[in-house]
Amino acid sequence: MILSPNLKGALLMMGSMAAFTFNDACVKLVSAELPLFQIVFFRGILTTLLIAALAWAMGLRSLRIPRGDIALVAGRTAAEIASMCAFLYALTHMPLANVSSILAAMPLSVTLAGALLLGEPVGWRRLVAILVGFTGVLMIVKPGAEGFNVSSLAALLAVLLVTARDLFTRRMSAHVPSMAIAVITALSVGLFGGVAMLWQGWAPVTMREGGLIAGAAVFIVGGYLFSIMVMRVGEIGFVAPFRYTALIWALLLGWLVFGDWPSWLTLAGASIVVITGIFTLYRERMMRKPVAAR
């Protein structure tokens, strides 16, 4: 059976989202047994080794960053570490599907931030979709309700910090190798976990816990590899909406592994976020077509 480029891209995107969600599930499982930053340290070191090997296989021989991009790389790395802390706190205190639903708003927040901070054009249709999408986020976090707590705020903070990370990335020049950024980020996250582990404490690691941490590292690298391959096949406008399959995996894993199932309000809010996100991606694709045709 011969697959079309778009179908290959869709399958790779779904594989990437599945891998990242399985990583989240592994971390959530092991966080009940080990200090969080100990997990971050061990996972970070394993991830660095695996990504460095992948980068070497893809021809990367230097981590040199152009002088004009050093501040942007530093800002991106800091935003990555801060967003990881916020996300992991939310992940360890909230159902997996709830966290994933809130994080699904990232394409909306990145589009809005790009318009406000970088002057990128956003028409009224996408602006309305973004506002409606954020209404869906409010349905998930339920401000003023009993379910709204520090964990919900941490998930929202993670969205803002990931948005900042992506804005730093957009400002980088084309001379910055993507794999170099991946290696630097993984190493920085691991070293941060090692320093924080000294403050938080350390606990003995069993075979099961070590296996879950190793699994998380493998899933992260697998997700990253699939996401690289996605950029080389198919039309990004067709493939990008398949990122929302992460919510399906989060629902299934949350139910099968953790016994969690979101409330109807959370499911409704997640549906709004997904629909508006797909519409925003569609409109962005339509806006780019005239440019590509020139």
Domain limits, the chain: 5-293
- The predicted pLDDT at position 293 comes to 44
Tokens of 269: 């809010």
Please report, as a single letter, which amino acid is at residue 75. G
Nearest Cα to 105, choosing from 79, 146, 135, 150?
135
Whether the predicted pLDDT of 145 surpasses 60: no
Is the Cα torsion angle 40, 229, 126, 101 positive or negative in sign?
negative
> What tokens appear for 66 in the block?
């152009």
Q: Give the pair of three-digit tokens for residue 145.
A: 């309700």
In this predicted structure, what is the pLDDT of residue 254?
94
- Name the band, by pLDDT with cuts 50, 70 and 90, for residue 179: confident
Q: Which two tokens stand for residue 125?
A: 């249709």
How many other β-carbons are positioned within 10 Å of the β-carbon of residue 26?
A: 24
Q: Compute the distance between CA of residue 289 and CA of residue 277 in angstroms, rounded to an integer.
A: 19
Cα 55 from chain centroid (whole Å): 20
Q: Which helix (H) or strand (E) is 7 found in, with range?
A: helix 5-30
The mean pLDDT of 133-162, rounded to a whole number, is 82
Residue-level pLDDT at 144: 57
* DSSP state, residue 231: T
Dmax (CA) of the chain: 61
Q: What is the mean pLDDT of residues 201-225?
A: 93
Please state the rounded mean pLDDT for residues 137-163: 82
Residue 237 has pLDDT above 90, yes or no: no
What CA–CA distance (Å, rounded) separates 71 from 199?
28
Question: How far is Cα 274 from Cα 44, in angstroms, rounded to an integer?
Answer: 30
